[in-house]
Amino acid sequence: MGMRVGYARVSSAGQKLDMQLDKLEDCDRVYYEKASASSTTSRPELLKAMDFVRDDDVLVVTKRDRLARSVVDMAMIITRLQEKEVDLVVLDQGIDTTTMYGRLQFNILTSIGEFEREIIKERSREGREKAIANGVKFGAPQKLSETEIAQLIRDYESPDVSKKNLAEFYGLSRSSVYRIYKERCQNVSD
């Protein structure tokens, strides 16, 4: 059996870690912080704990919400722990992946997280398609007006003007000049 690595977190300065740390006193090492759980990247101590744990270690938290705020966030953490062959124990909720029942709970949570991610992706795709159908344009706004683009195409076709000079004049990269020409000339020939 590897190490027991604890992680404790409170989300505001007024909260105290004492109760969590008391419950994690049998851990070999404990990481703790005062940080919002909005994303894993804003919790450097959690990232350190996740990097530290190795095969056969156990990550111990007092409650699931101390580790993650959403099912999706939890699923990502669970996946990373599984990849590292690290077990998870959530003391107050009785989740313990060192047992077969705990692994079942763990896998159910992962499945729910994957399902939730798929729903979010589907809704995002549908929203994007609807926005495009309603004329919304995504991406950065065009740098050049239609008049400037027409002039760029005339200049592009002129043997007296280099593509490098065109790019500098219009404030674009050479690849953008080539792309604009290709897109506009292809649309004309279609």
Do 77 and 67 touch, CB atoms closer than 8 A? yes
Contact 149, 180 (CB under 8 A): yes
What does the angle CA 145 – CA 151 – CA 153 come to, to the nearest 5 degrees? 105
Annotated active-site residue 11? The verdict is yes
Euclidean distance between CA atoms 99 and 25, whole angstroms: 22
Tokens of 21: 């740390």
Q: At what angle do helices 174-189 and 146-157 cross, to 10 degrees?
A: 90
Options 11, 36, 158, 162, the catalytic residue: 11
Q: Point out the residues that are catalytic.
A: 11
